[in-house]
């Protein structure tokens, strides 16, 4: 699982940060992803 932070820039989206999710984040969001 990847955690990504992005911002809109006109017609595009710019990635600010992208990293592997830690165990706590994976447990917190796994049910939303199916």
Q: Name the band, by pLDDT with cuts 50, 70 and 90, for residue 20.
A: very high
- Give the pLDDT score at 21: 97
Average pLDDT score over residue span 13-30:
97
Q: Is 90 exceeded by the pLDDT of residue 10?
A: yes
CB atoms within 10 A of CB 21: 15
Average pLDDT score over residue span 4-17:
98
Q: What average pLDDT does the structure give for the chain? A: 96
**Contact present, 29 and 1 (Cβ < 8 Å):** yes
Measured distance CA(25)–CA(1) in Å, rounded:
9
Helical residues (DSSP H) of the chain, grouped into ranges: 23-33
Q: Is 90 exceeded by the pLDDT of residue 34?
A: no
Q: What's the CA dihedral at 12, 15, 20, 24 to 10 degrees? A: -90
């Amino acid at each position: 699982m990847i955690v990504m932070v992005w911002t809109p820039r006109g017609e595009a989206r710019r990635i600010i940060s992208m990293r592997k999710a830690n165990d706590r984040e994976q447990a917190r969001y796994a049910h939303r992803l199916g």
